[in-house]
Amino acid sequence: MTTDSEMDTASPTDAETACFEAGIKFGALYHQFAGTPVSPASAASLERAIEDAIENQPHCESVSVAILTDELDAAIDHGYTELTGRFMEVELVVEFEKNRVTARMAMEEGYPRMRIASVEALD
């Protein structure tokens, strides 16, 4: 077990904190909106709602959500379906203490994979 004094000497870097913040945004995005009823007709407004909600969080500079309407349409058999990671591509940008992290979510081997795309120091 790590003591508080041991944790103090291993404080995360600002870049690591920015990456953590990106993970927090993805956790909120996915678990807040997964299961939302969606159809091709409502996809654009849901994209905007997700973007607006996540951009409210601290250090979030931008969020871009694309609901894949072709895949969505193929999955619908009764007017709508539930939103899951297989129907979304997401990019978000977090800035924290002169660090910018870009993170993306897309399907990878049947799983909605969320990963860090880049970490850059800002001047």
Cα gap 58→97, rounded to integer Å: 12
Domain containing 65 — which CATH number? 3.30.1300.20
In a domain, 3, yes or no: no
For the segment 5-20, what is each residue's pLDDT rounded down to a tens digit?
A: 665 678 999 999 999 9
The arithmetic mean of pLDDT across residues 34-49, rounded, is 96
| pTM over the 0.85 mark | yes
Which domain, by its residues, includes 47?
Answer: 12-121
Total domain count, the chain: 1
In a domain, 6, yes or no: no
In a domain, 95, yes or no: yes
pLDDT, residue 1, reads 63
